[in-house]
Amino acid sequence: MSALRVALADDQALVRMGLRVLIDAEDDMEPAGEAADGREAVDVVRREHPDVILMDVRMPGMDGIAALREIAADDAMAGTRVVVLTTFELDEYVFDALRAGAAGFLIKDSDPGELLRAIRLAAAGESLLSPSVTCSVIASFASRAPSGGPRPDLSELTEREQEVLALVGEGLSNAEIAERLVVSPATARTHVSRAMVKLHARDRAQLVVTAYRAGLAG
């Protein structure tokens, strides 16, 4: 099995060095380029096609959110999953990151093991939000939808898929959903995948937002 290729985007050289050392020490990961600002980050993704890029929010020139939007909008780069890093738990940029399709959101002082887990989850198509802010950030994000706006249309989802969507909204992983519903992990994964397709969700984080907006979680 080939190693996960991880790129780094942060304007602080010391931060990039620390992340690089952490990743390089893992048997299943390898560094795949570095960037000091958003424009460089886009260039690195376009050139290296990493599996995951750790993206700082506040960088000079093009910030991390603008870079995330550009990466997500380009089919040639959309295969790269973006995990957003920030210093502040309730940074306004978090909401923009989720809307733009971030695969994960972590505070910079998160435990190294949590960061590595986020990378692996992102590469596997799942997502991880910093445990200290998962519920509050997503709920706040959902509440910021335009007042009076319609709730997401869930009519295409089966009853089981809506149930799974609600559990995704609670932050459960596929394995935890399988345990809750007494089904196999493969079956849970299939339900999640079908819900993503039907709701046109780019990733699991957007499913969580949909669950909140639909009133299934929170």
pLDDT band (50, 70, 90) for residue 174: confident
Residue 132: count other Cβ atoms within 10 Å of its Cβ: 12
Asked whether residue 102 carries a pLDDT value surpassing 60, the answer given is: yes
Q: What is the Cα–Cα distance from 180 to 188, expressed in whole angstroms? A: 10
Residue ranges and CATH numbers for the domains of the chain are 4-140 (3.40.50.2300), 151-214 (1.10.10.10)
201: amino acid identity, one letter = A
Q: What is the Cα–Cα distance from 117 to 6, expressed in whole angstroms? A: 13
The rounded mean pLDDT for the chain is 84
* pLDDT top residue among 175 and 94: 175
What local confidence, expressed as pLDDT, does residue 26 receive?
A: 94
Do you know the residue count of the chain?
A: 218
Reduced 3-state DSSP string for the chain: CCCEEEEEECCCHHHHHHHHHHHHCCCCEEEEEEECCHHHHHHHHHHHCCCEEEEECCCCCCCHHHHHHHHHHCCCCCCCEEEEEECCCCCCHHHHHHHHCCCEEEECCCCHHHHHHHHHHHHCCCCEECCCCHHHHHHHHHHCCCCCCCCCCCCCCCHHHHHHHHHHHCCCCHHHHHHHHCCCHHHHHHHHHHHHHHCCCCCHHHHHHHHHHCCCCC
pLDDT band (50, 70, 90) for residue 14: very high
CB of 89 closer than 8 Å to CB of 109 = no
pLDDT band (50, 70, 90) for residue 199: very high
* pLDDT top residue among 156 and 95: 156
